[in-house]
Structure 1
Amino acid sequence: MKAPLLLIVAVWLNVPYGGSSSCSVPPSQWCSSLDSAVQCGVLKECLESNFTRSHQTADPVQVGLYYESLCPGCRMFLSTVLFPTWLLLHDIMTVDLVPYGNAVEKHDGKKYTYECQHGEQECLGNMIETCILKLSKIPFPIIFCMEFSTDVINSAQSCVKIYNPELSWKSVMDCVNGTQGNELMHQNALSTQGLKPPHQYVPWVTINGKHTEDLQDKAMASLFTLVCNMYQGEKPPACGGGKRHYKSYCQRN
């Protein structure tokens, strides 16, 4: 079972939602098994989420974000637009994060090296987020936590501890400082360099693998509206599909 929206919001806000004091697993794992769902008092929500996903009538909209960890515009888009949209529409959209942006890759004969637009700290932030994307089962809330904080780098360890406590910080840093992280960042470089058309700036948004200035403008203006319009299946309630859930109105005198 995959965590439904309400549980993801609980992870985002870091507040307890499970109805049972015997719950001993983090929110991201509440729907990982029938036992944990029962233990944490969220069986109904987990089953409802599975039912909704199993009755999807079209492929989800794929939203790609090519960005830099310390780019102000990237941070704002990721934390105030992309992440909230994903929270509301995660049943009909997927997110692919590629932290690299305007970096320059070189090879010194042994490994790849990087020069980043906002300096060495940005290279470190890109690498930490790249390793989190690989190692964590729920990476997006961690990266949101980092990008929304006042200090992207120094918040990383605490963000991992809050949203994915079973992921050790040592394993993240082993990836960052080792061959695994170096190769993962090389893949980010290849993905970014292979964009068609080539990216001219960041944040650079793709929708279903495509980028146009029209799609970029619509994503920046209202990604929520764009995803709802692009989804080819039955619209979820968040997009205005289905029946109204609110029946009480304040009538005009």
Structure 2
Amino acid sequence: MYAFIFFFFFFLGEVVMCTSVQFVPVTLKFSMLAPKDPLSKWGSLNKLIKISGVDELMYNQLTVQVDTPTIHLYYEVHCPGCIEFDTTQLKEVIEVLHQYVDVHTYPYGHARTVKHEDGTVEVTCQHGPAECYGNMLHACALDIIANGTEALLFNACMMGQYSNDKSADKCGEKMNINASPIKDCAKSQKGTDLLVHYGEESKKAGFQYVPYVLLNGEEWRGKSLLKAVCASFKNPPEPFITNSQDIEILSNALDSVNTPIKVIEADFIFIKEKITVQVNVPTLKLYYESLCPDCIEFDSTQFKNVVELLHQYVDIHTYPYGNARTVKHGNNTVIICQHGPEECYGNKLHACALDIIANGTEAMLFNACMMAQRSNDTSADNIFKTLYKIMFFNFIAFATILAFINCREIDTLSKWGSLNKLIKISGVDVLMSNELTVQVDTPIIKLYYEAHCPGCIEFDTTQLKEVVEVLHQYVDVHTYPYGNARTVIHEDGTIEVTCQHGPAECYGNMLHACALDIIANGTEALLFNACMMDQDSNDNSADKCGEKMNINASPIKDCAKSQKGTDLLVHYGEESEKAGFQYVPYVLLNGEEWRGESLLNDVCATFKNPPEPCTQF
């Protein structure tokens, strides 16, 4: 076993006070010796902002006071009262207390958003088009300027100069901010989209006048926002002193409460045996989709490494949606994912894991593990099956350990080496203390077809079905039920899909698409469709195959008769168009067109280390 000693340094930034006392920038450095008790295990740090009351800090308990007033300002840029408030009261709070408060602004006010039948969006503002453009300048500044404090001060600066291009240039020059991207954004669709967003948020607030201010969720109409904010602190930021005895005083205070934190060096904040520490917590956000190859690569390597090594020091948020599209039809909502219904289900597995697994770190590592195994029910089950089958080795210096591993299930061997695409561990015959050789060996099959094409029926019910039945846990299969259909979008926005073998085939294609979307187990969905293909792919065949396979066919039929069925078919049409085929069935094996005699034999031939079922053929 290895013994690890981690040295972690916390850096304190500038401290600004709610009093008129002079202050000096301060820095503290701590060393932590806690191999078995990382910081996160001392207490619940839901929102790690400030640590106050160090006299209460114990080895097994960390008392954290989250004491951050929240300010919401709803305004419009040409409203005289808004200009007055933003350039005086709000600006003062931001300049004095920016590191202690959470400020949100909404540049929309009494504007109105109208969505026309042709899909266009029109926003009209109380003080005319110039105000709408000014609101968009503010919205774009909030979106583009990375430093939130600078963005708020930039907007306050524009508010004092009519919030137009000229003021953007002047404020940009004054604050050393490039105003060009902000102006370009305000003139683009993005500016309109941001303004619509702030309109939606403003509607939720339900105000009757602007400026409308909320302080900690309560309407505020006082005389001094700064004083009100200071009064809302349970422990207001205090002035501090520094002298030659600071390090000794702090060291003694920490030693007296039996904490593993030790002082290395400090310029110091210390008043009445209380300190305020501003913790520097990097924020990491990952937007991804579960079947995107690059997402899989990134999540199972770079992102996973950060989570494993630094989970208690960073604030991580993940968003499993990617390039999906949400389509609303009345009360129904359909989500169409870039890599098909299987990806939508994988995204939902990830979202549910983040919602259900209480430990955020475990949830993200669970999802990273699923990412390496197609993010389906099987991968979710395999993680739990293999957690207790992990192989541990005591390595001797310079020794090579020989092992032969025949496992098709994932485990945490990734800590022993770089597993770029961690999908299956196959034929690992040399395992060294500093290196793990892993072969990723998963054939990919794509089938483009239509439900009533005789050649498609023949292929799906024999060749593809055989591969799915024999090798389903070793191959990655994607099917696209659309074929030679055509999608036409009319001027009134309606969508019409016409199929080569008539409306009955379109309905059959939708039955297949809905089965792929609804049946959670991908293998069962493929075999269900193969079963329908052999029986004309209609409601009768759906019922028979459902009864045979113990699958409820009613939701699949309902889906095929609804707008969702049409949306899924349109999606498969878009994917089919990308493939650019001239005939169906059109088959790709590992990205290459396949026109052989035995798909099973040819799939088995692609394995570098064929699985056991392939040895029988």
Instruction: Give me the TM-score of the superposition, normalised by structure 2.
Output: 0.29
Give 1:142's aligned residue: 154
> 5+ residue gaps in structure 1?
7-43, 245-253
Matches within 5 A, 1:202-213: 202-208=210-216, 210-212=217-219
Note the aligned Cα RMSD (angstroms): 2.6
Partner of 1:70: helix, strand, or coil? coil
> 2: distance between equivalents of 1:132 and 1:79?
16
- Structure 1 residue 62 displacement after superposition: 0.8
Change (3 A) 1:168 1:84: closer
Offset from partner CA, 1:128-185 (integer Å, 9 cap, x none)? 1100000002201111111123x331211221233243x351x223311222222111
2:198 is aligned with 1:188: yes
The match for 1:231 among 227, 230, 233 is 233
Residues 59-78 of structure 1: pairs in structure 2 closer than 5 A: 59-78=67-86
Counting strand residues as a fraction of each chain, which structure ranks higher?
2
1:159 is matched with 171
Residue 118 of structure 1 corresponds to 127
Find out whether 1:96 has 2:104 as its counterpart: yes
Inter-CA distance 86–168: structure 2 relative to 1 (3 Å threshold): closer
Partner residue of 2:224? 222
What runs of 5+ residues in structure 2 fail to find an aligned partner?
Answer: 1-10, 17-23, 29-48, 53-64, 240-269, 273-617
Give 1:206 deviation, angstroms.
Answer: 1.1
Render the CA deviation track for 1:193-241: whole Å, top value 9, x for unaligned: 011xx20100000122x243xxx223xx111121112123x21137xxx
Please state how far the C-alpha of 1:123 moved relative to its aligned partner.
Answer: 0.6
Q: 1:2 to 1:118 in 2, by over 3 A?
A: farther
> Match for 1:55 among 46, 51, 54?
51
Match of 1:45 in 2: 25
Deviations, residues 3-46 of structure 1 (Å, cap 9, x unaligned) = 7478xxxxxxxxxxxxxxxxxxxxxxxxxxxxxxxxxxxxx837
Q: 2:183 corresponds to which letter in structure 1?
A: M
- Which secondary structure state, in structure 2, belongs to the residue aligned with residue 199 of structure 1? coil
Q: 1:110 to 1:176 in 2, by over 3 A?
A: farther
In the other structure, the counterpart of 1:17 is none
> Can you list the C-alpha shifts for 1:47-69, whole angstroms capped at 9, x where unaligned?
47xxxx64353231110100000
Distance in 1 of aligned mates of 2:167 and 2:83: 14
Distance 1:161 1:72, change over 3 A: same
Q: Report the CA distance between 1:121 and its aligned residue.
A: 0.8
| Residue 2 (structure 1) shift | 9.4
CA contact (8 A) 1:128 1:173 kept: yes
Whether the 8 Å contact between 2:169 and 2:179 is mirrored in structure 1 is no
AA matched with 2:172: V
Match of 2:141 in 1: 132
- CA offset at residue 116 of structure 1? 0.8
- 1:172 matched to 2:182? The reply is yes
Q: Report the TM-score, using the length of structure 1 for normalisation.
A: 0.66
Q: 1:85 to 1:132 in 2, by over 3 A?
A: same
Q: For the residues of structure 2 that align with 1:121 and 1:86, how far apart are their CA atoms? A: 27
Mapped to 1, the partners of 2:226 and 2:84 lie a distance apart of: 15
Asked if residue 200 in structure 1 is aligned to residue 200 in structure 2, the reply is no
Report the identity percentage.
27
2:225 maps to amino acid = L
Q: CA, structure 1 residues 115+99, in 2 after alignment: closer, same or farther (shift >3 Å)?
A: same
Paired AA for residue 55 in structure 1? I
2:105 alignment partner, SS class: strand
Which letter maps to 2:189?
T
Total equivalences in the alignment: 188
Q: Is the 8 A contact 1:58 1:231 kept in 2?
A: no
The structure richer in helix per residue is 1
Query: Is the contact made by 1:5 and 1:90 (CA closer than 8 Å) also made in structure 2?
Result: no
